[in-house]
């Protein structure tokens, strides 16, 4: 396989990074039917930082899975960089990078090997890969632990490695699904600064989900709020605050989605995930 350039210079003239139209996903059948995503439409412009917010179980991760070719929609259409996320999967996969919400690192490999594996799979040229790995491992303060197996890492260290790995190659679109969950404020700041820099200097489109409202407030050019599988609000930070007549995004978010704590907890989340595999 030929190595692809890390910095992809050729950008297609298509104006939207992501276009989602009437996207739905239903799990199960009969009485047990769960409509996880229900007729969602939105667009993300190229070079934009787009925050996709919602309470637990609102349909965020299911939507991200459909945007990143991991899950086939029940209905609707997803275009990533003008390409159909389902019929042109392989092409779409070349255009984005993702940091998943769940752990996806390999416990039986070392930190360095996890990075190396990713770099090779994503076509980072082999002459630049070692330097790039070092840079990213130093960035998340894991360089000294590079030769340790992942199974010896703490939760926070694994999380940092996930992020370092996701940023190793320079994709045109970066999906970040609650990337900073469980990290201390220092690390979170450090990471968001870097992502901001990528966005400004390389024009990387950022699609993020987070439960830390101040992160979305600081980072996002535009925000969409999803609840019960439907988009309930979309706009810039000031638009959302204006519309809800609230002073902070957190208050606006609660005004939009209500105070009720969702039935979905870690346990059912896990259940849902196992369920997703069952086409």
Partner 1 sequence: MNAVYMLWLRQVKKYARSKSRIVGALGQPLLFMVALGFGFGPIYAQAGGGNYMHFLAPGIIAMSILFTSIFSGIEVIWDRQFGFLKETLVAPVSRHEIMLGRTLGGATAGLFQGVIVFFIALGFGLTPNWALVPAALLVAALIAVFFTALGTAIASKMDDMQGFQLIMNFVVMPIFFLSGALFPLDGLPSGIREATAINPLSYGVDGLRAVLTGASHFGLGMDLAVLGVLTAASLGIGSYLFSKIQA
Cα angle for residues 227, 228, 232 (degrees, 5° grid): 35
Choice from 78, 81, 98, 174 touching partner 1 (CB under 8 A) = 98
Distance CA 167, CA 185 (A): 19
Nearer of residues 77 and 94 to partner 1, judged by Cβ:
94
Beta bridge partners of residue 78, listed in sequence order: 20
Contact (Cβ atoms closer than 8 angstroms) between residue 206 and residue 48: yes
Residues of this chain, 59-88, that bind partner 1 according to CB under 8 A: 65, 68-72
Nearer of residues 95 and 196 to partner 1, judged by Cβ:
95
Closest of 9, 17, 32, 13 to residue 271, by C-alpha: 32
| Contact call for residue 156 and partner 1 (CB under 8 A) | no
Choice from 27, 112, 122, 153 touching partner 1 (CB under 8 A) = 122
Nearer of residues 69 and 204 to partner 1, judged by Cβ:
69
Residue count at the site for partner 1 (CB under 8 A)?
36
Judging by beta carbons within 10 Å of its beta carbon (0-12, 13-18, 19+), is residue 46 exposed, middle or buried?
A: middle
Choice from 34, 120, 144, 203 touching partner 1 (CB under 8 A) = 120
Choice from 1, 261, 263, 266 touching partner 1 (CB under 8 A) = 1
Distance CA 7, CA 64 (A): 24
Q: What are phi and psi of 234, to 5 degrees?
A: -150, 135
Region of 51-59, 97-105, 178-186, 210-218 interacting with partner 1 (CB under 8 A)? 97-105
Distance CA 148, CA 187 (A): 21
Which residues make up the interface to partner 1 (CB under 8 A)? 1, 4, 65, 68-72, 90, 93-94, 96, 98, 100, 102-109, 113, 116-118, 120-123, 149, 274, 276-279
């Amino acid at each position: 396989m030929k190595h692809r350039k890390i910095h992809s210079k050729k950008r297609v003239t298509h104006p939207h990074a992501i276009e989602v139209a009437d996207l739905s996903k239903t799990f199960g059948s009969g009485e047990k039917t769960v409509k996880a995503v229900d007729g969602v439409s939105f667009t993300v412009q190229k070079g934009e930082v787009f925050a996709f917010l919602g309470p637990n179980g609102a349909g965020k991760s299911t939507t991200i899975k459909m945007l990143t070719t991991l899950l086939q929609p029940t209905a609707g259409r997803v275009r990533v960089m003008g390409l159909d996320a389902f019929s042109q999967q392989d092409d779409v996969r070349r255009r984005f990078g993702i940091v998943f919400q769940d752990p996806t690192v390999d416990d039986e490999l070392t930190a360095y090997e996890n990075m190396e594996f990713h770099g090779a799979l994503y076509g980072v040229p082999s002459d630049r890969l070692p330097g790039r790995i070092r840079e990213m491992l130093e960035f998340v303060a894991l360089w000294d632990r590079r030769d340790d197996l992942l199974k010896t890492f703490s939760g926070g260290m694994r999380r940092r490695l996930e992020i370092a790995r996701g940023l190793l190659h320079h994709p045109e679109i970066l999906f970040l699904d609650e990337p900073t969950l469980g990290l201390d404020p220092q690390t979170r700041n450090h990471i968001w600064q870097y992502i901001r820099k990528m966005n400004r200097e390389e024009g990387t489109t950022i699609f993020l989900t987070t439960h830390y409202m101040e992160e979305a407030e600081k980072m996002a050019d535009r925000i969409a709020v999803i609840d019960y599988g439907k988009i309930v609000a979309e706009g810039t930070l000031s638009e959302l605050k204006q519309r809800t007549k609230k002073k902070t995004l957190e208050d606006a978010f609660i005004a939009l989605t209500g105070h009720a704590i969702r039935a979905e907890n870690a346990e059912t989340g896990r259940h849902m995930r196992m369920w997703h595999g069952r086409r």
